[in-house]
């Protein structure tokens, strides 16, 4: 089996490396990024999404947002122009569920299967190959490509028909954003009252408030390390898709809307390329303090 991989950014590159490590033959393409490190590991470089599809049985896309996926799959020199009948597109991007369904229907007319399989876990989990992967599409198709997903993730969950994976990812992104905002409020409050934030972290991490988000993000906050594992501008994109989907379904999500405005404020301050743990910077600015580890 030959796997095509389109989109080799922060997430896609380590995911592709894990597939190579697992013994798969890869054909890779990125419109903007160099792929020489993957070629040195045994991958073959292609010059377009069309060329990737022509040489692959399974094509993976890992791109920023809906327009990028539509361009790579349905646009000029796109996957649809090169894909052979019965090939499978696995879109691992986080995009609007309605767009997943749109692309699925167009590909189906050409005899091409599609799965939406967005991921959670950020760059560290992508490197480890322990991502959580949420899958939508035909269940038989899912079972065919599940061994591939297992080389990139440790939690692979079939969620339902096409679009269900991205809907589940939107739910995930609500929880992550609100969790980071709650952590930020709590740490700023405790720091302002004179309690060492490291002490607060150690005191509550084993209780009901403990979470994977807390374990991943509080150490970054305490170190003042906002190097992006998942950028603020990407979380803005995800929450915009969440709000759009919620409005289509007549589902009010006021807390998500509030966090979206916090992220927009950070973007206005020029911080959109920082990790989303930098949500705390919004609260620090309001309270006129920094939450950092106390070095003794």
What's the rounded Cα separation, in Å, for the pair 29 and 33? 8
The Cβ of residue 93 has, within 10 Å, a number of other Cβ atoms equal to: 26
Determine contact, residues 151/19, Cβ cutoff 8 Å. yes
- CA nearest 291: which of 202, 204, 190, 205? 190
Inter-CA distances, 2 with 27, 53, 56, 179, Å: 7, 10, 5, 39
Residue 43 CB contacts under 8 Å (≥ 6 apart), including other chains: 5, 16, 20, 25, 26, 27, 28, 35
Residues belonging to the active site:
169
One-character DSSP codes across 116-136:
E--EESHHHHHHHT-EEEEEE
Tell me 43's DSSP state: -
Residue 7: count of CB within 10 angstroms of its CB: 27
The answer to whether residues 145 and 92 touch, using CB atoms and an 8 Å cutoff, is no
């Amino acid at each position: 089996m030959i796997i095509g991989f389109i989109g080799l950014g922060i997430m896609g590159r380590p995911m592709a490396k894990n597939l190579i490590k697992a013994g798969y033959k890869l054909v890779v393409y990125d419109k903007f990024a160099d792929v020489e490190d993957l070629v040195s590991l045994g991958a073959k470089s292609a010059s377009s999404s069309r060329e990737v599809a022509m040489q692959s049985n399974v094509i993976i896309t890992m791109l920023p947002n809906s327009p990028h996926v539509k361009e790579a799959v349905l646009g000029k020199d796109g996957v649809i122009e090169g894909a052979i009948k019965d090939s499978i597109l696995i879109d691992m991007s986080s995009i609007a569920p309605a767009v997943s369904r749109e692309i699925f229907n167009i590909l189906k007319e050409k005899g091409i299967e599609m799965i939406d399989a967005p991921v959670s876990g950020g760059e560290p989990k992508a490197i480890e190959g322990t991502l959580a992967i949420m899958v939508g599409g035909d269940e038989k198709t899912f079972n065919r490509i599940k061994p591939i997903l297992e080389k990139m993730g440790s939690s692979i969950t079939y969620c339902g028909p096409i679009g269900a994976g991205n809907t589940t990812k939107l739910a995930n992104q609500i929880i992550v954003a609100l969790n980071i905002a709650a952590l930020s409020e709590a740490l700023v409050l405790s720091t302002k009252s004179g309690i060492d934030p490291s002490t607060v972290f150690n005191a509550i991490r084993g209780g009901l408030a403990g979470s994977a988000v807390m374990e991943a993000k509080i150490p970054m906050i305490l170190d003042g390390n906002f190097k992006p594992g998942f950028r603020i501008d990407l979380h803005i994109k995800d929450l915009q898709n969440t709000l759009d989907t919620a409005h289509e379904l007549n589902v009010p999500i006021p807390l998500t809307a509030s966090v979206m405005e916090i992220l927009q404020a950070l973007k206005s301050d020029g911080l959109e390329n920082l990790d989303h743990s930098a949500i705390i910077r919004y609260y620090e600015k309001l309270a006129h303090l920094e939450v950092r580890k106390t070095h003794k």
